[in-house]
Copies of this chain bind each other. A is one copy, B any other.
């Protein structure tokens, strides 16, 4: 089976049939859609279908699709759920390419009859090749083609443009488009994808990736039905330089549960979804407003070459707030050169410090040209990769508004965002101004900080590309005991050092080679329960202590079992350091993932973990450690030396390779603790679960 099904007949049909056409039936939807087509001058051939009439709106009405002599690309099926099966059978028989199914009650909310209907549709699609969009949806919009299959006139004002839109939530679909248009976005294609019985998120994204007019893709997602196809579409999007932006429900358990019952789509593990997004350059937006602001930020098509942000405004308070939001978003500010700082100092208010982020002082607020020069000086600094400058769209035609500063700053060739400190009204005048400047005007300081982060992360992913999973090796012959230890050590996951000696008198020297303190165990088939006869000693601090303890163990054992055989002694280093957890498993949706955390038994309760898709190299391992809240314990901490972070990163990357090489037989692997020392790491406890 091919990975993607074509949505071409949905978005670019040359002939359309409205099934269920009537003046007032279908809650007025057939009529509303007809009027949208009429308003657009009927951009495609149109047929009406209704078995109960012969004429409507001055057109002939056909009893069914098969009765239409011409081919029909797309059937808009506006009939109750119960009647849809017959219509789809008719559509398939007539070689209709795609059916857009609006009705609800196809199994969402857990009703059995609906679920059966959905299964029947899926089977029909598989059998006949008919494509279905929906059901339980609000239709689709092809803005350039002027095909508005949405049951209300209010979508007519939406502008064509470069943003493709896929919303699983029909209720929010049009509302979001309206506000996005108010803010200055325009759309190529937009679809409310509903229950996705056939065409799904991955198919639509793939269509938009292949569509020349689409430059970015905005999605609202409740669940990803085909994770592999979605990841493939995301790979295609990255390769095509088209950012995919997603608002996804399900950060909370309650949100996930609600989604599951609402759409029947598997919500999955939200942290794994985040990891998948990070890996594939998919931008996850926090709110529906962010989806607009971040889409705007991507519109000029410029990406930063690095992560160094410059920011300039005319308010000290806003600068302080922005620093707080920037810290939350993990932004890094560029260190401006002395030349830039003195150029800036010459332009801003006396007594105000040239700095980044910059507050110019109040007087610059009324001198836009000066503000433009200040920002341009910052943007020209080689240390700056991206700049955010304060800016506000004019509301009314008579409002003084000067596009020059923004055009001037954009002239530096780097990405520029204008930001307002609050949400505010946007009018025709504002949109025209925004277009004239060529700079996107964002609203809100946290939203701006997050959009900067999105541009930086996406650009980095564009440069790094998406790592692919290598083929697994076969099952090695023996992976237990010493063989496992040796193999793990070869993957940078060494166990605690240990030496086995056969004679009591060798103990001291062996312990000295390992380094003190050490643990000592007697090796004897007659001392299976070592603790009972005192056959284990911990924290021995000198060669003498080791030898003496080995002698005492021998005595005690002989006292219990005069004939006991003693094979020797095991001397092992005492591992004491910072405890990490590192585990790999196969996520049912997105494949092998690794979780890394700090803090022994508390890791789970705290949720202070980093989670990434495999493969993970040392650079990404470093990112994982940096993302932990408790990362401070890896540096010098409370008088203890810094931990060997290089060795930890090698161990994480090694664990990634080990799992991928052995994943044909290995299901699950957890090292807990992986102890980080000042020099090296030790995989103290390794737990593996084989596949069944």
Contacts and interface: CB of A to CB of B under 8 A. Distances in A.
A346 to B, nearest CB: 17
Greatest chain B CB density within 10 A among A353, A423, A629 is at A423
Given A171-B362, A255-B324, A607 B629 contact: yes
Contacts of A138: 362
A495 interface: no
A232 to B, nearest CB: 25
A286 B261 CA distance: 32
A247 interface: yes
Contacts of A250: 320, 324
Given A317-B222, A320-B258, A179 B327 contact: no
B168 A317 contact: yes
A148 B361 CA distance: 22
Given A251-B327, A258-B323, A363-B27, A445 B599 contact: no
B443 A320 contact: no
Greatest chain B CB density within 10 A among A288, A326, A445 is at A288
A633 interface: yes
Contacts of A608: 606, 629
A380 interface: no
A526 interface: no
A208 B566 CA distance: 87
Contact of A176 (B167, B263, B289, B422): B422
A339 interface: no
Given A27-B363, A422-B292, A327 B254 contact: yes
A425 interface: yes
Contacts of A602: 598-599, 602, 630, 633
Interface string A70-111: 000000000000000000000000000000000011001101
Given A175-B422, A352-B109, A608-B606, A361 B288 contact: no
A508 to B, nearest CB: 21
A179 to B, nearest CB: 5
A258 B319 contact: yes
Contacts of A637: 605
Contact of A288 (B168, B261, B286, B321): B321
Interface string A582-603: 0000000000000000110110
Interface of A: 27, 104-105, 108-109, 111, 114, 138, 167-172, 175-176, 179, 182, 220, 222, 247, 249-255, 258-259, 261-263, 286-289, 292, 313-321, 323-324, 326-328, 349-353, 357, 359, 361-363, 365-366, 392, 421-427, 443-446, 598-599, 601-602, 604-608, 629-633, 637-638
30 contacts: A27-B366, A105-B351, A169-B315, A169-B316, A171-B313, A171-B315, A171-B316, A175-B392, A179-B422, A222-B317, A247-B321, A249-B317, A249-B320, A249-B323, A252-B326, A252-B327, A252-B328, A253-B327, A254-B324, A261-B353, A263-B316, A287-B446, A289-B444, A598-B602, A598-B605, A599-B599, A605-B629, A605-B631, A605-B637, A606-B608
